[in-house]
Chain A
Amino acid sequence: MKVCTCLVSSIFVLMFSVYSAGAAFASDGKTEGIINCDIQNQPCVRQVAGGRITFDIRPKPVKAMADLTFEVKAEGVNLSGPPVIDLGMPGMKMGPNQVKLKMTDTGLYQGTGIIVRCPSGRTLWQATVHLPGIGDAEFVFDVVYD
């Protein structure tokens, strides 16, 4: 039992040390390369299933901790239902944060949601748009923290 406690405690101390060092010196610089959507300036477009999906968030600038309108426009594709957006941070589990969209016009879906602020200071967020009958489209972008 004592050996087991020693082993587990040692592993724990080692893991915590590494984690603390990593957390303290983590930088957004390592993740800047994965941004594929300039949501602060323009809607983002993906080619899917022979058509295209346009993703946008308003108002601009896109800020965390504020009510936002999410919009998905489907052109040249037939969705079997309204899209659902999963919001999260790349490489960090934040819990399920979903935005359910409703059709407001032909091929146009809108819904409201909130991007939360991470105390780590990281501003990189990912919206995974689930397109029923088609698949998923991922958009990685920066948000603004006040």
Chain B
Amino acid sequence: MDLSGDTLVLVFLTTGFTVGFGHCIGMCGPIVISMSLNLTAGNTFWPQVLYHTGRVATYSLLGGIMGVTGSFAMVTSGIASIQKGVLVFSGILIIFMGVMMSGRLTKLACFQSGTGVQTFFAKAYGSLTGLKPTLAYFPLGLVLGLLPCGPVYTVLIASARAGMEAPDGYSGFIKGMVLMLAFGLGTVPALFAVGRLAGAGWFKKRQLLYKAGSVIMVGVGIYFVIKGIRY
């Protein structure tokens, strides 16, 4: 496969699509699933649209920055600590959602109504996963778009190369941005399908499966936190 010329956008759109159904489901899948499971059935569409819009917007911006600088190593070393933090944050988020799903959280004293902690967590949780405001999923997508990810790095390398070959900084920004936009859009169908399936009303009505899902979520969240600390 020749990675050059005008076909590059199509190549990375296709890459996003194929990688989405494999790699991305493993990496971003737990986040999308935990979000969907915590939403009420029938209300998973717009939160997911906003989440993926935020995620793809971050990808596009990173691609643009790569295109301007033409240096993958320099930019990634600059954001490495942020990515580490985002990985830990996403793990904590998944654990939190898993515990909420299990129904255990409400039994803890600190979450009983009237306490400051309860109010804080209720607001935080409501902002991230609740019905109001649904718009909270957009900034969540923006932040989690920074998750360290092998395929994302691969396309960022191509964006940096495209920037190096561009005649000026502006063209480099556009080229890098378009490549990452194409890749990001390519990943959406797989993650969207996963989110929709996880959010299916039938699954939520099966309490045993739902509880099992919450345990898996907590396990995956711990795995994310450990990976984040080691990253």
The residues of A with any CB-CB pair to B shorter than 8 Å are 2, 5-6, 8-9, 12-13, 16-17, 19-20, 23-24, 65-67, 89, 92-98, 113-114, 116-121
Please give, as numbers and ranges, the residues of chain A lying within 8 Å of B149 by CB-CB distance: 119
Q: Are B73 and A65 in contact, with the CB atoms below 8 A?
A: yes
The residues of B with any CB-CB pair to A shorter than 8 Å are 1, 3, 11-12, 15, 18-19, 22-23, 25-27, 29-30, 33, 72-73, 76-77, 80, 87, 147-151, 153-155, 157-158, 183, 194, 197-198, 200, 202-203, 209, 212-213, 216, 219-220, 223, 227, 230-231
Q: Are B29 and A5 in contact, with the CB atoms below 8 A?
A: no
Q: Are A95 and B19 in contact, with the CB atoms below 8 A?
A: yes
Please give, as numbers and ranges, the residues of chain A lying within 8 Å of B198 by CB-CB distance: 12
Please give, as numbers and ranges, the residues of chain A lying within 8 Å of B157 by CB-CB distance: 97, 113-114, 116
Told that A13-B209, A19-B25 touch, could you supply 19 new A-B pairs with CB distance under 8 A? A5-B202, A6-B202, A8-B197, A12-B194, A12-B197, A13-B212, A19-B26, A19-B29, A20-B30, A23-B220, A65-B73, A65-B80, A95-B19, A96-B11, A98-B1, A119-B27, A119-B87, A119-B149, A119-B231
Q: Nearest A residue to B203 by beta-carbon distance? A: A9
Q: Are A9 and B76 in contact, with the CB atoms below 8 A?
A: no
Question: Per DSSP, are chain A's interface residues mostly helix, strand or loop, or mixed?
Answer: mixed
Q: Nearest A residue to B222 by beta-carbon distance? A: A24
- Cα A123 to Cα B15 in complex, Å, equals 22
21 contacts between A and B (CB under 8 A): A6-B202, A8-B197, A9-B202, A16-B33, A17-B216, A19-B25, A19-B29, A20-B219, A23-B26, A24-B220, A65-B76, A93-B19, A93-B23, A95-B19, A95-B151, A97-B154, A116-B150, A119-B87, A119-B147, A121-B227, A121-B230
